[in-house]
């Protein structure tokens, strides 16, 4: 990966590293390449900073068009005025990505952190899982670490690296290990999903658990959505991380001669943008159409992603129970 450069003379640069990028590219029928901006809270929260500092977003390519585009600057909507940020797509080996994403990150870590495993039966940590860990999760995290280190060295400004979520737990230690103290960036990591209590982390083999905790304790600032998640992380370090010194009152873990500060930073939706959209003519027309179509009817509405981990099956069971209990409906 060739590092992106910025002419912006500012005090600090930001690198965002996440599994998904802020945009997804598509090729139109006429051969032109367009992109759509991501709608998640992460994209909304961070693109607003693009007008204040140079930002490079490093992510895995999700489509062939992402891969063909590679890297460069894109201009996206960010509040009152557009913002320009650099985007660099990584292209891990297909088998490595499959192990990293489809076996380790999802479902192993995602289900573990949401306390959703049926423990008498799953998960099964077998040879395939270990291969996915070594050849997938570790390998892709190393790919991110190498790209981030290269970009940090290319930046003219002091750099802050903001790592995102459960896909990149190992990346911080990998960055710290390959960079001299004088060139290391400030490392931040935000975990968007819950961090369960210590007992649940016994599901993982000790080597995996240790690598995850060791990686996260290489950052300077570690953020969670709630205070309970922060406490659970520190308790997990106290229980499973040898020689870690945990100061609950200060929200700090001292490990390998380094202090990691643990805090909670709830990320909300873009309320202002949502309210503006709710008052738009487009929504008014849709509301009128729905009121006409559904006049005199009772409506049960569920809005969610159609995947088993979002409990869609349980929702149908609840609907079935309601119909049996209240047949008049």
Please list the helix, strand and coil fractions of the chain in percent, rounded to the nearest 5, in that order.
Answer: 45, 20, 35
Return the pLDDT at 171.
99
Do 152 and 221 have their domain in common? yes
Return the pLDDT at 273.
74
Do 203 and 295 have their domain in common? no
Do 232 and 305 have their domain in common? no
Q: Is residue 122 part of a domain?
A: yes
d(CA 74, CA 65): 14
**Angle, in degrees to the nearest 10, between helices 139-154 and 171-178:** 50
Mean pLDDT of 70-76: 78
Do 231 and 302 have their domain in common? no
**Residue 7 pLDDT > 50:** no
Q: Which of 219, 124, 205 is nearest to 169 (CA)?
A: 219
Q: Which domain holds residue 287?
A: 276-325
Q: Is residue 54 part of a domain?
A: no
Q: Which of 165, 161, 92 is nearest to 132 (CA)?
A: 92
Q: Is residue 300 part of a domain?
A: yes
Q: Which of 264, 287, 307 is the last residue of a domain?
A: 264
Q: Is residue 36 part of a domain?
A: no
Higher pLDDT, 7 or 117: 117
Return the pLDDT at 318.
87
Return the pLDDT at 134.
99
- What would the pLDDT profile of 146-162 be if each residue is shown by its tens digit? 999 999 999 989 999 99
Do 232 and 303 have their domain in common? no
Do 254 and 318 have their domain in common? no
Do 226 and 258 have their domain in common? yes
What is the maximal distance between C-alpha atoms in the chain? 72
Do 194 and 292 have their domain in common? no
- Asked if residues 210 and 201 have their Cβ atoms less than 8 Å apart, the reply is no
Report how many domains make up the chain: 2
Higher pLDDT, 326 or 195: 195
Q: Which of 244, 264, 284 is the last residue of a domain?
A: 264
Backbone angles phi, psi at 23, to 5 degrees: -140, 160
**Residue 197 pLDDT > 90:** yes
Q: Is residue 164 part of a domain?
A: yes
- Asked if residues 44 and 4 have their Cβ atoms less than 8 Å apart, the reply is no
Mean pLDDT of 215-242: 98
CATH code for the domain in which residue 250 is found: 3.40.50.2000
Percent of the chain, pLDDT > 90?
Answer: 63
Structure tokens at 157: 């400004």
Q: Which of 264, 284, 305 is the last residue of a domain?
A: 264
Do 253 and 126 have their domain in common? yes
Do 237 and 311 have their domain in common? no
Q: Is residue 123 part of a domain?
A: yes
Q: Is residue 62 part of a domain?
A: no
Do 169 and 308 have their domain in common? no
Return the pLDDT at 142.
99
Mean pLDDT of 264-268: 85
Higher pLDDT, 317 or 175: 175
Do 189 and 288 have their domain in common? no
**Residue 307 pLDDT > 70:** no
Q: Is residue 77 part of a domain?
A: no
Return the pLDDT at 164.
96
Beta-carbon-side half-sphere exposure of residue 284 (alpha carbons within 13 Å): 4
């Amino acid at each position: 990966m060739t590092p992106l450069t910025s002419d912006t003379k500012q005090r600090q640069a930001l690198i965002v590293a996440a599994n998904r990028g802020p945009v997804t590219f598509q090729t139109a029928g006429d051969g032109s390449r367009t992109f759509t901006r991501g709608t998640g809270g992460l994209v909304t929260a961070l693109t607003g900073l693009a007008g204040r500092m140079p930002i490079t977003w490093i992510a895995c390519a999700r489509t062939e068009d992402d891969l063909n585009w590679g890297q460069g600057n894109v201009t996206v909507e960010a509040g009152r005025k557009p913002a320009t940020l650099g985007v660099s797509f990584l292209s891990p080996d297909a088998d490595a990505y499959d192990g990293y994403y489809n076996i380790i990150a999802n479902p192993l870590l995602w289900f573990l952190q949401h306390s959703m495993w049926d423990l008498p039966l799953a998960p099964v940590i077998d040879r395939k899982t270990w291969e996915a860990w070594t050849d997938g999760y570790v390998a892709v995290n190393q790919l991110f670490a190498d790209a981030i280190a290269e970009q940090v060295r290319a930046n003219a400004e002091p750099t802050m690296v903001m790592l995102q979520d459960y896909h990149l737990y190992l990346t911080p230690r990998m960055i710290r290990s390959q960079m001299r103290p004088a060139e290391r960036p400030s490392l931040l990591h935000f975990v968007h999903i819950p961090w369960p209590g210590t007992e649940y982390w016994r599901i993982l083999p000790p080597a995996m658990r240790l690598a995850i905790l060791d990686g996260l304790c290489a950052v300077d600032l570690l953020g969670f959505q709630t205070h309970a998640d922060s406490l659970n992380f520190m308790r997990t370090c106290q229980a499973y991380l040898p020689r870690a010194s945990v100061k609950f009152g200060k929200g700090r873990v001292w490990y390998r001669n380094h202090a990691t500060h643990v805090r909670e930073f709830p990320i909300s939706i873009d309320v202002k943008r949502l309210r503006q959209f709710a008052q738009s003519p487009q929504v008014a027309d849709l509301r009128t159409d729905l009121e006409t179509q559904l006049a005199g009817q009772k409506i049960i509405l569920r809005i969610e992603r159609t995947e088993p981990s979002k409990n869609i099956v349980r929702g149908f069971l609840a609907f079935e129970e309601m119909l049996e209990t209240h047949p008049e409906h």
